[in-house]
Amino acid sequence: MNSKIEVIIVDDHPMVIEGLKSLLSNYDILSVTHTFTKGMEAYDYLLANDCDVVLMDINLPDISGIELCGKVSAANTKLKILGMSTHNDASIIRQMVHKGAKGYLIKNASADELYTAIENVYEGKTYFSHEVQSILAESSLKNIPHLTRREKEILSLIASGETTHQIAGKLYLSPLTVETHRRNLMQKFDVNNAPALIKMAIDQKLL
């Protein structure tokens, strides 16, 4: 490789961005050219500018990383997207890949593994960390999404017919937080509405 691999980071936490920039600065072949904390700002930039690899988080304040991955991939089929998140649920990982991601890492990955992942997807290969491979393998045997305690609470209240504002009041959360949990549940079950979510949860004996 004669030139540097240009990397863009999309993550809603500035401290995570700074940490990633620091890690990647140890590799001369890599150059972090831009960073974004909002998905649509990254999308607008990528419509008008080129880069080699995008490190993309799932949880963004304005759009799901899965949706953003699909939009960016549709607009630029040559762009290499590497999902990187704390989410370790197989359904989330599969959706990210379905939307065009060339690889996926959990955020506890080492600097060397991150570098290897970037290099692989840049060269047109796919890359999934050993942890992600294990998650996908286990899921193929038992395709039931893992839910957090809070997600289980909200799922139960959705099934009871509660609205977002009613759930927020009962759990002392903001409506925005409840909507984020709703969106994560939809993604984990790969559905688009509450009735389908409830049906899937019942079928998998989670309700």
Q: For 53-69, write each residue's pLDDT tens digit.
A: 999 999 999 999 999 99
Taking the C-alpha atoms of residue 109 and residue 105, their distance in angstroms, rounded to an integer, is 7
The alpha helices in the chain, defined as continuous H runs, are 14-24, 39-48, 65-75, 90-98, 111-122, 130-141, 149-159, 164-171, 175-189, 194-203
Q: What is the mean pLDDT of the chain?
A: 90
Assign a CATH topology to domain 5-140. Rossmann fold (3.40.50)
Assign a CATH topology to domain 149-203. Arc Repressor Mutant, subunit A (1.10.10)
Count of CA atoms in the C-beta half-sphere (13 A) of 57:
23
| Strand-pair partners of 31 | 6
Q: Is the pLDDT of residue 202 over 60?
A: yes
The average pLDDT across 170-199 equals 90
Higher-scoring residue by pLDDT: 141, 4: 4
pLDDT digits (tens, 9 = 90+) for 13-40: 999 999 999 999 999 999 999 999 999 9
Q: What is the pLDDT of residue 143?
A: 62
The average pLDDT across 145-161 equals 91
Q: Is the pLDDT of residue 130 over 70?
A: yes
Instruction: At 105, list the tokens.
Output: 């890492």
Instruction: Give the start-to-end residue ranges of the domains of the chain.
Output: 5-140, 149-203
Identify which of 88, 83, 111 has the alpha carbon closest to the alpha carbon of residue 20: 111
Instruction: At 109, list the tokens.
Output: 């990955």
Q: Do domains 5-140 and 149-203 have the same CATH topology?
A: no
